[in-house]
């Protein structure tokens, strides 16, 4: 079942085109929304929530139309914004219960649930402290608590680990991993931190310059987009490497003379051997390597 | 097992799509303002004129007992529409309303802008009018406590102390005027406050703006009136417009010979501008085009 389906969605901030014909499908589980700064990730989340109306295109979030039924979407979505958000003068329980009530929960239920989610995110002991006294990590957990209080079916997390120290980051990622392990609670994480996505997500959408650069299951993407091979050769490599580049491969040379060859999906690995033979090289080492998300991202977005 | 160790659990209830979120926002706003001791003190202090006028209502029925104390001042203790006009327009009530607006209202939207709370509100099933209505109701609650409650109390106490309904038979429209005036002035001031609060991310700047606009409008009126001796310049002053309107509501003679509906138009234009700006400023995402 698809949770989110978008068809040719476009949005511009004046002359700046933020989303340019985004078409994507996001299924169950945890999905990463990856892209460099300015790729359109936050804009996409705001469109999915109905904060912004696309200039063109259609879309559904859990069956609710992004143009016509933003209220339906907001009832089933929990949103954790990127920036620090709080209401001065409130403690965590009042704050979380307040937003539960605004979502449509009865007051007493919202208060009870606020206690539960605050314990869940690790703020149980600090729940009566004023929010102004919270650290960056605590505020991040609080944002997660308010996103969870009304028991959404899908969570939108915008840069959930920004401004966190390594310990805080690990804890938030563990929470997200626990949340996304529930079969009926799905997570869409927007981030430019690749390792966060790698740790928590099973599927991925890469945005670049307002367009979908890649999407699908993380494991499949690693395979489909390109294959990475590591090799060592004996002989003059220049003509060999030039030939590979001309064939559409990306080649990296490490300090210990290891060559990392990224083959396009259309290219067979035997081509590498043929070109080595033509260049008069001996191949001493040739092994398929597991591509990291960093490799995938760099390759897709076109950065080193 | 501790909740934290249980992992995430679902809420078994169902969300109510028919609730009124503005009431939740208003309740929270009132609670937040009431938590501040200084605000409680100022609100109590601002009820002082109401207390004095209540005493006036009592004394008006015991003029004989207070003859020595009043020494001819009993002409001010005729409980009629002028008495109400005196309370609403010239007893310091407008100034106390301004102080309440600054303390309880300056941060209503400015704080949400400063602390990026609007995306949290609008990620809920909430319309702009729910949000603005909740903030409006927060402020209107306190302003009506200074206008509507004392006005109706004066009428009620006069009836009780005099033991007759003469006030109502003489001026049957008076309760409606009290309600009408209280609603109009509270609504105008609430919109005025929300408008200026939405222009800044700082509660302090919003407070300064509120005071500055209010008093500068008076200053401009005084300057132009001094130079040109033309009472129509009262239309520049928020306070003078409200006084004209108060006189019209209470069926009393206005201070200046300028038609009261001009003041209505000026105040309505101000309210319209406030609603327009609020519509533009209140949204879940900042869009810079």
What's the confidence (pLDDT) of residue A148?
A: 95
Residue A127 has pLDDT above 50, yes or no: yes
Show residues of chain A in contact with B289, CB under 8 Å: 13-14
How do residues A23-72 score in pLDDT, each as one tens digit?
999 988 899 998 888 888 889 999 998 888 999 999 999 999 999 998 99
Asked if this assembly's ipTM is beyond 0.90, the reply is no
**Mean per-residue pLDDT, B50-57:** 92
**Residues present in chain A in total:** 304
Lowest mean pLDDT of A49-58, A135-144, B1-10, B158-167, name the range: B1-10
- DSSP assignment letter at A82: S
Element containing residue B219 per DSSP (H, E): helix B203-228
Q: Does A88 touch chain B (CB under 8 A)?
A: yes
CA distance linking residue B273 with residue B267, whole number of Å: 10
Other beta carbons within 10 Å of A282: 10
Contact B123 A122 (CB under 8 A): no
Q: Do A276 and A249 form a contact (C-beta atoms < 8 A)?
A: no
- Give the mean pLDDT of chain B: 90
Contact B115 A182 (CB under 8 A): no
CB contact residues (below 8 A), chain A span 105-134, against chain B: 105-107, 109, 113, 115-116, 119-120, 122, 124
- Give the mean pLDDT of chain A: 88
Contact B124 A51 (CB under 8 A): no
- Alpha-carbon gap: B26 to the closest alpha carbon of chain A (Å): 11
Q: What percent of chain B has pLDDT over 90?
A: 73
Q: Is the dihedral of CA B124, B130, B131, B135 positive or negative?
A: negative
What is the b/e burial string over B199-209, where b = at least 16 CB atoms within 10 angstroms of the residue's CB?
A: ebebbebbbeb
What's the confidence (pLDDT) of residue A225?
A: 63
What DSSP string describes A187-251?
A: EEEEES-HHHHHHH-SEEEEEETTEEEEEEEHHHHHHHHEEEEEEEEES--HHHHHHHHHTT-EE
- Alpha-carbon gap: B182 to the closest alpha carbon of chain A (Å): 29
What's the confidence (pLDDT) of residue B90?
A: 73
Element containing residue B181 per DSSP (H, E): helix B174-197
In chain A, which residue's Cα lies nearest the Cα of B285?
A51
Other beta carbons within 10 Å of A260: 16
Which pLDDT band holds residue B2 (cuts at 50, 70, 90)? very low
Q: Taking Cα atoms as reference points, which of B286, B109, B95 lies closest to residue B196?
A: B109
How do residues B22-40 score in pLDDT, each as one tens digit?
999 999 999 999 999 999 9
- Alpha-carbon gap: A21 to the closest alpha carbon of chain B (Å): 20
Which pLDDT band holds residue B6 (cuts at 50, 70, 90)? low
Residue A142 has pLDDT above 60, yes or no: yes
Instruction: Show Cβ contacts of residue A176 under 8 Å, excluding neighbours closer than 6 positions.
Output: A30, A157, A160, A187, A189, A200
What's the confidence (pLDDT) of residue B174?
A: 94
Other beta carbons within 10 Å of A241: 18
CA distance linking residue A54 with residue A43, whole number of Å: 10
The segment with the largest mean pLDDT, out of A22-26, A170-174, B142-146, is: B142-146
And the tokens for B62?
């015991």
Show residues of chain A in contact with B111, CB under 8 Å: 87-88
Q: Does A151 touch chain B (CB under 8 A)?
A: yes
Rg (CA), chain B: 23
Say which residue the tokens 């220049």 belong to: A238
Long-range pairs for B1-10: beta carbons < 8 A, 24 or more residues apart: B2/A119, B3/A115, B3/A116, B3/A119, B3/A120, B3/A124, B4/A119, B4/A120, B4/A122, B4/A124, B6/A120, B7/A120, B7/A178, B8/A120, B8/A148, B8/A178, B8/A179, B8/A182, B8/A185, B9/A116, B9/A120, B10/A151, B10/A184
Residue B154 has pLDDT above 50, yes or no: yes
- DSSP assignment letter at A254: -
- What is the Cα B137 distance to its own chain's centre? 10
Show residues of chain B in contact with A116, CB under 8 Å: 3, 9
CA distance linking residue A204 with residue A22, whole number of Å: 14
**Mean per-residue pLDDT, A236-246:** 88
What's the confidence (pLDDT) of residue A224?
A: 59
Among B116, B124, B283, the residue with its CB nearest the CB of A103 is: B124
Contact B13 A106 (CB under 8 A): yes
In chain A, which residue's Cα lies nearest the Cα of B117?
A85
**Residues present in chain B in total:** 289
- Alpha-carbon gap: A77 to the closest alpha carbon of chain B (Å): 8
What's the confidence (pLDDT) of residue A42?
A: 87
Angle formed by the axes of helices B93-105 and B203-228, nearest 10°: 150
Q: Taking Cα atoms as reference points, which of A220, A183, A226 lies closest to residue A204?
A: A220
How do residues B81-121 score in pLDDT, each as one tens digit?
889 988 988 768 889 999 999 999 999 999 999 999 999 99
Other beta carbons within 10 Å of B67: 11
Q: Do B235 and B262 form a contact (C-beta atoms < 8 A)?
A: yes
What's the confidence (pLDDT) of residue B181?
A: 93
Tell me which of B123, B126, B201 to substitute to probe the interface with A (most A C-beta atoms closer than 10 Å). Answer: B123
Q: Does A99 touch chain B (CB under 8 A)?
A: yes
Contact A75 B287 (CB under 8 A): no
Other beta carbons within 10 Å of A277: 12
What's the confidence (pLDDT) of residue A197?
A: 87
What's the confidence (pLDDT) of residue B70?
A: 67
Q: Do A96 and A118 form a contact (C-beta atoms < 8 A)?
A: yes
Tell me which of A61, A87, A186 to substitute to probe the interface with B (most B C-beta atoms closer than 10 Å). Answer: A87
What DSSP string describes A96-162?
A: HHHHHHHHT--HHHHHHHHHHHHHHTT-STTTTSBGGG--HHHHHHHHHHHHHTT--SEEEEESTTT
Say which residue the tokens 């029925």 belong to: B61
Show residues of chain A in contact with B117, CB under 8 Å: 85-87
- Alpha-carbon gap: A225 to the closest alpha carbon of chain B (Å): 35
**Mean per-residue pLDDT, B113-134:** 93
Lowest mean pLDDT of B6-20, B175-189, B216-230, name the range: B6-20
How do residues A181-191 score in pLDDT, each as one tens digit?
877 889 999 98
More confident site: A294 or B223: B223
Show residues of chain A in contact with B134, CB under 8 Å: none
Across B96-185, where does the E strand assignment appear? none
CB contact residues (below 8 A), chain A span 30-59, against chain B: 46, 49-52
Show residues of chain A in contact with B284, CB under 8 Å: 46, 49-51
- DSSP assignment letter at B252: P
Show residues of chain B in contact with A122, CB under 8 Å: 4
**Mean per-residue pLDDT, B194-202:** 95
- Alpha-carbon gap: A59 to the closest alpha carbon of chain B (Å): 18
Q: Is the dihedral of CA B18, B21, B24, B26 positive or negative?
A: negative
- DSSP assignment letter at B233: G
What's the confidence (pLDDT) of residue B3?
A: 47
More confident site: B69 or A240: A240
**Mean per-residue pLDDT, B253-281:** 93
What's the confidence (pLDDT) of residue A250?
A: 81
Q: Does A301 touch chain B (CB under 8 A)?
A: no
Tell me which of B11, B21, B31 to substitute to probe the interface with A (most A C-beta atoms closer than 10 Å). Answer: B11
Residues of chain B contacting A, Cβ within 8 Å: 2-4, 6-11, 13, 15-17, 19, 21, 24-25, 28, 32, 35, 107, 111-112, 115-117, 119-126, 283-285, 287-289
- Alpha-carbon gap: B105 to the closest alpha carbon of chain A (Å): 14
CB contact residues (below 8 A), chain A span 163-182, against chain B: 178-179, 182
Long-range pairs for A169-172: beta carbons < 8 A, 24 or more residues apart: A169/A196, A171/A122, A171/A137, A172/A137, A172/A140, A172/A141, A172/A144
Instruction: Show Cβ contacts of residue A213 under 8 Å, excluding neighbours closer than 6 positions.
Output: A35, A206, A207, A300, A301
CB-count exposure of residue A19 (10 Å: 0-12, 13-18, 19+)? buried
What's the confidence (pLDDT) of residue B107?
A: 94
CA distance linking residue B207 with residue B158, whole number of Å: 38
Q: Taking Cα atoms as reference points, which of B162, B161, B101 lies closest to residue B135?
A: B101
What's the confidence (pLDDT) of residue B72?
A: 66
What's the confidence (pLDDT) of residue A1?
A: 65
Show residues of chain A in contact with B129, CB under 8 Å: none
């Amino acid at each position: 079942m698809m949770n989110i389906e978008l068809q040719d969605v476009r949005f511009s901030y004046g002359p700046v085109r933020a989303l340019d014909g985004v078409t994507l499908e996001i299924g169950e589980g945890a999905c990463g929304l990856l892209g460099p700064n300015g790729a359109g990730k936050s804009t996409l989340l705001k469109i999915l929530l109905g904060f912004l109306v696309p200039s063109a295109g259609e879309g559904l979030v859990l069956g609710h139309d992004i143009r016509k039924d933003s209220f339906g979407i907001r009832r089933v979505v929990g949103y954790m914004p990127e920036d620090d958000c709080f209401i001065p003068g409130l403690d965590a329980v009042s704050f979380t219960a307040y937003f539960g009530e605004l979502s449509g929960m009865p007051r007493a239920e919202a208060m009870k649930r606020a206690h539960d989610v605050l314990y869940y995110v690790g703020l149980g002991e600090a729940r009566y402290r004023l929010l102004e006294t919270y650290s960056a990590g605590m505020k991040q957990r609080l944002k997660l608590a308010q996103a969870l209080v009304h028991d959404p079916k899908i969570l939108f997390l915008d840069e959930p680990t920004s401004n966190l120290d390594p310990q805080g980051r690990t804890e938030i990622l563990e929470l997200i991993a626990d949340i996304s392990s529930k079969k009926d609670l799905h997570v869409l994480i927007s981030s430019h931190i690749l390792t966060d996505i790698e740790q928590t997500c099973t599927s991925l959408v890469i945005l670049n310059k307002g367009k979908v650069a890649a999407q699908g299951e993380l494991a499949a993407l690693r395979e489909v987009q390109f294959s990475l091979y590591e090799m060592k050769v004996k002989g003059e490599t220049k003509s060999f490497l030039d030939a590979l580049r001309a064939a559409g491969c990306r080649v990296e040379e490490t300090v210990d003379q290891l060559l990392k060859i990224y083959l396009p999906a259309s290219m067979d690995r035997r081509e590498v051997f043929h070109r080595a033979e033509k260049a008069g090289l001996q191949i001493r080492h040739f092994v398929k390597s597991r591509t990291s998300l960093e490799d995938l991202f760099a390759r897709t977005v076109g950065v080193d | 097992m501790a909740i934290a160790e249980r992992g995430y659990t679902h809420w078994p209830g169902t969300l109510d799509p028919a609730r009124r979120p503005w009431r939740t926002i208003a309740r929270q706003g009132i609670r937040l303002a009431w938590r501040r001791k200084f605000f409680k003190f100022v609100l109590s202090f601002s009820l002082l004129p109401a207390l004095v006028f209540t005493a006036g209502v009592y004394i008006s029925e015991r003029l004989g007992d207070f003859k020595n104390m009043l020494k001819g001042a009993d002409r001010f203790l005729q409980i009629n529409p002028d008495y109400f006009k005196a309370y609403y327009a010239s007893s310091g009530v407008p100034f106390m309303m301004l102080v309440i607006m600054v303390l309880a209202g300056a941060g209503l939207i400015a704080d949400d802008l400063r602390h990026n709370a609007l995306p949290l509100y609008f990620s809920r099933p909430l319309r702009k009018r729910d949000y603005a209505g909740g903030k409006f109701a927060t402020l209107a609650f306190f302003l009506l406590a200074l206008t509507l409650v004392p006005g109706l109390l004066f009428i009620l106490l006069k009836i009780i102390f005099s033991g007759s309904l003469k006030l109502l038979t003489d001026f049957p429209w008076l309760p409606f005027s009290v309600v009408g005036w209280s609603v109009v002035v509270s609504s105008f001031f609430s919109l005025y406050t929300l408008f200026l609060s939405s222009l800044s991310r700082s509660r302090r700047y919003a407070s300064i703006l509120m005071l500055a606009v209010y008093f500068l409008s008076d200053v401009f009126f005084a300057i132009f009136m001094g130079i040109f001796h033309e009472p129509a310049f009262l239309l520049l002053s928020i306070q003078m417009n409200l006084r004209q309107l108060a006189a019209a509501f209470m069926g009393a003679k206005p201070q200046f010979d300028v038609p009261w509906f001009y003041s209505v138009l000026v105040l309505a234009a101000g309210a319209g501008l406030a609603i327009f700006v609020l519509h533009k400023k209140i949204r879940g995402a900042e869009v810079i085009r």
